Amino acid sequence: MLKFWYKDFPQYPQEHLEYWRSRLIQHTLLISAAFFLLLTLLNLFFFGAYRLALLDSCGFVITLAIYAWFRRTANIGVAAWAFSIMAAGLICLFVLMVGGSAHSLMWATLIPPFTFFLVGRQWGTVLSAVVFSLCAVVVYQQVQGQQAVTFSNGALLNVIEVAIAHVLIFRFYERSRTVAYQQLAGKTNQMRQMAETDKLTGLYNREKLDQTLNGLLPDITQSNKPVTLMLLDIDHFKQINDEFGHLRGDKVLTQLAELLRSQMRNQDFIARWGGEEFVVLLPDTLLKHGAELAERLRVYIAAQSIEGHNLTISIGVAQHQQNESTEALLDRADKALYQAKHQGRNQVITAQ
């Protein structure tokens, strides 16, 4: 039902800067139309205040006209100004017509919540200042004339109607704020993911690996828990690029990354080191067990057909030593990998 009254404009998707302003315009126009219609009926049949009924009926017609025009044109700037001027003008006329009696001045409190969001801080301040200045003049005249404060059904209805309008406005604001924060959190998470992952393979990148190692090693030093690192490289990968092209090479890397990820434990951390090299971080794992995992991984990859190629990998394995830096750990694993390459490839070498 509500979707019928709230039109979604393709030029203002939810992530657009003007999306919530377009929603607020429709929101305020629909609320205003309902209020003006209710006030027209009350003033016409309950209070017998025909001049006020005429004023409210004009507001009802103008509001519907702005609403229909906005749905057709999606012109946010003109619609925002049209509504703001109409609302400010009708509230001022209402206050003047009743001389500020029956708590009519409360309607002026609706001007800032509407205008600041619709026409901005500067013009919202101007419109609010104009309306409040008029209210101040009316109150001054009441004070000078020593007008007695009276309470009536009209005053009660004014208080109730303005209170309801405020609740509806701030419900909308809170919803828009919540959705905006959710979108911001989603975008932040997306940007963080982009900054931490390798675009081709979807694995973590080298920068994320460095951050993880630098954050993990101090904890290792204090807890004395073992951490083992694998550095693996695809054997003869350059031949695939040379013979079949880099696009084929990219597909091989992507599929290999998926295979490697499928063999990792929940606590393991895998990243693309660069080119055809990958790093696997094995928390709470001794060198012996890390070497066994590396061997199983080597055998598993050799048994797969990746983009029509039977690949093999060489792996260097090193366990973190007491007070060893990140660079030293990676250097020892790299030397073990170099040794595996030098000794014929397709094997696992552990660093001592």
CA distances 63 to 21, 50, 148, 259, Å, are 17, 20, 35, 62
Q: How many CB atoms lie within 10 A of CB 190?
A: 10
The one catalytic residue among 15, 174, 207, 276: 276
- Could you please state the CATH topology (level 3) that the domain comprising 206-350 is classified under: Alpha-Beta Plaits (3.30.70)
Q: Helix or strand or coil: residue 240?
A: helix
pLDDT in tens, 232-278: 999 999 999 999 999 999 999 999 999 999 999 999 999 999 899 99
Nearest CA among 51, 113, 58 for reference residue 84: 113
What's residue 219's pLDDT? Answer: 74
What's residue 108's pLDDT? Answer: 95
Residue type, 102: A
Asked if pLDDT for residue 189 goes beyond 90, the answer is: no
Active site residue 276: yes
What's residue 179's pLDDT? Answer: 86
What tokens appear for 30 in the block?
A: 């629909």
Across the chain, mean pLDDT equals: 91
Look at 215-224, 287-296, 323-332 and tell me which has the smallest mean pLDDT.
Answer: 215-224
What is the arithmetic mean of pLDDT over 280-291? 94
What's residue 4's pLDDT? Answer: 66
pLDDT in tens, 149-175: 667 888 899 899 999 999 989 998 898
Q: Are 196 and 208 in contact (CB under 8 A)?
A: yes
Asked if pLDDT for residue 1 goes beyond 60, the answer is: no
Q: Are 306 and 214 in contact (CB under 8 A)?
A: no
- pTM here is 0.65
Our measurement of the distance from residue 55's CA atom to the centroid of its chain's CA atoms, rounded to an integer in Å, reads: 43
Size of the chain, expressed as the number of residues it contains:
352
Q: CATH 3.30.70.270 spans which residues of the chain?
A: 206-350
What's residue 269's pLDDT? Answer: 95
Asked if pLDDT for residue 3 goes beyond 80, the answer is: no
pLDDT in tens, 61-114: 999 999 999 999 999 999 999 999 999 999 999 999 998 888 899 999 999 998
What's residue 152's pLDDT? Answer: 81
What is the arithmetic mean of pLDDT over 5-25? 85
Asked if pLDDT for residue 177 goes beyond 60, the answer is: yes
